[in-house]
Structure 1
Amino acid sequence: MLTRVADGPAVVACNTCRHSADSREDGAGVRGGARLVATLRAVQAEDPRYAGVAVQEMPCLFACTDHCTIHLRAPDKVGYVLGRFTPDEDSARAILDYAVQYAASEHGRVPYSAWPEGIKGHFITRTPPPGFVAE
C-alpha cells in the first residue's frame, strides 16, 4: 500500500483528481490530476531551479471537492495541502516556484509577500511534521 520515495522536498500530486468542480475529465478524457502531474513534470524539466523539489504522484489525497490537489512536504517542515488548481502551465509554475521557496525555508513558512500570485487562495490545510506541532 505504501511506496518508498525520496525523503526530501516534494510536491505530491493527486493523479486521480477531478479536472474541475464541474467535470472529472478534460475534453480529451484525462483527469485533472493526471494532467497536473504531467504539466508539473514538463515545467520542472524546463527549468533547473526546480531540480531540488521532487514531483511525486499518488491516487486520491481525499480532497475531492478541491480538485487538482497537491501536498507540499519536506522533512521537519510544516506541510501544506493546496487545491482548486487549473491543471495548466501557469499553475504548475506557481506551485513549483512556491515549492522552491518552501524547500529553502527553515520550517516551511514562506512570507506571504513572496508567494507567487498563482497559489494565493489555494491553501486547504497545513500539517505538522512528525514529532512537532506548529506555533
Structure 2
Amino acid sequence: MMLTQVDDGPAVVACNTCRHSDESRQDAEGIRGGARLVAALETVKASDDRYAGIAVQQMPCLFACTDFCTIHLRAPGKVGYVLGRFTPDEEAARAILDYAVHYAASDHGRVPFSQWPQGVKGHFITRTPPAGFVAE
C-alpha cells in the first residue's frame, strides 16, 4: 500500500471504486458508482464558493463495500465520519458538501442535528476519533 500526501484540512475523501448498485459494479456506461460520486462532488464543489474550504479527495476502497457509495469526512483535531449508501449524483454530493461546511466550522466535528441536510440523515456508518484522542 502506498500513501499519497494530501492537504490535511477539512476534506471529503470519496471511495472512487465503490459499486454502482447491489446488482452492478458499474453503470450502463461502465463507470463505477464511486467514480460517479467523485465527479459529482467535484462538480458541486466548483459550483459554489461556500465549498471552497472543503477539499474533495479520492482513493480506492474505503472497505465499506456493503454501504457503497462511501465517503470519509475528516479534519485535523476533529472526530471523522464515514458515510455511505449514497446514490452517486449531484443531489447526494450537495448534501455531503453542505454537511461538510457545518462540520468544518464545528469545534470538534459535532454538527447539531438541526443543521444536518436531509440528504445525509441515515447515511452515517461510523465515527473515527482524531489521532491522540477519543470522543466523550
What TM-score do the two structures reach when normalised by structure 1? 0.99
Percent of aligned pairs with the same amino acid: 80
Q: Which residue of 2 aligns with 1:75?
A: 76
> Residue 109 in 1 paired to residue 110 in 2?
yes
Deviation at 1:97, TM superposition (A): 0.1
Deviation at 1:111, TM superposition (A): 0.5
Q: Structure 2 CA distance, aligned partners of 1:31 and 1:65?
A: 14
Give the conservation status (yes or no) of the 8 Å contact 1:13–1:69. Answer: yes
Deviations 1:29-78 (A, max 9, x none): 10000000001000000100001000000000000000110000000000
* Residue identity in the other structure for 2:53: G
Q: Which residue of 1 aligns with 2:47?
A: 46
* Residue identity in the other structure for 1:40: L
Cα RMSD after superposing both structures: 0.5
Segments of 4+ moved more than 3 angstroms? none
What TM-score do the two structures reach when normalised by structure 2? 0.98
- Match of 1:113, SS? helix
Q: Which residue of 2 aligns with 1:12?
A: 13
Give the conservation status (yes or no) of the 8 Å contact 1:20–1:84. Answer: no
Q: Which residue of 1 aligns with 2:96?
A: 95
Number of equivalenced pairs? 135
Q: In structure 1, list runs of 5 or more residues that go unmatched.
A: none
Deviation at 1:20, TM superposition (A): 1.7
Deviations 1:69-99 (A, max 9, x none): 0000000000000000000010000000000
- Match of 2:14, SS? strand
Q: Structure 2 CA distance, aligned partners of 1:22 and 1:109?
A: 35
Q: Structure 1 CA distance, aligned partners of 2:50 and 2:62?
A: 26
